[in-house]
């Protein structure tokens, strides 16, 4: 009977120690490094070009390719910079603002 009680007591002790190590106060101790919260900021750079007769959005995008964005994302930023071109085609001689490839910068702040 003593062996059974000793085994049960040993099992319960090991179980509580395992739970405390996995989910308890020890992982929350100050042994871990301080966490950093980082966010990527993308600076939108633009260039102003003068359109010639026969230019299309695709030909203007081909002049300044951006492999980080899809065509739809570039088109959305193009129309955000040139809202007057949503209802008309590109006419020769007008100035158009093109988004350039975006440079990502990372800013981090220390938590805790």
DSSP 8-state class, residue 84: G
Helix (H/G/I), strand (E/B), else coil: 45: coil
Give the helix, strand, coil percentages of the chain, each rounded to 5.
Answer: 40, 25, 40
Strand spans (E) along the chain: 36-43, 46-50, 95-99, 103-110
For residues 98 and 78, the answer to whether their CB atoms sit within 8 Å is yes
Query: pTM for the complete prediction?
Result: 0.52
Q: Percent of the chain scored above 90 by pLDDT?
A: 16
The pLDDT, as a whole number, for residue 7 is 93
Question: What local confidence, expressed as pLDDT, does residue 8 receive?
Answer: 93
């Amino acid at each position: 009977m003593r062996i059974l009680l000793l085994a049960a007591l040993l099992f319960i002790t090991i179980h509580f120690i395992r739970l405390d190590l996995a989910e308890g106060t020890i992982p929350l101790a100050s042994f871990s490094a301080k966490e950093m919260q980082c966010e990527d900021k993308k600076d939108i750079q633009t260039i102003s070009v003068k359109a010639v007769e026969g230019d299309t959005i695709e030909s203007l995008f081909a002049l300044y390719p951006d492999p980080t964005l899809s065509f739809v994302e570039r088109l959305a930023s193009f129309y955000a910079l040139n809202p007057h071109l949503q209802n008309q085609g590109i006419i020769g001689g007008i100035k158009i603002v093109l988004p350039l490839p975006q440079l990502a910068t990372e800013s981090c702040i220390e938590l805790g």
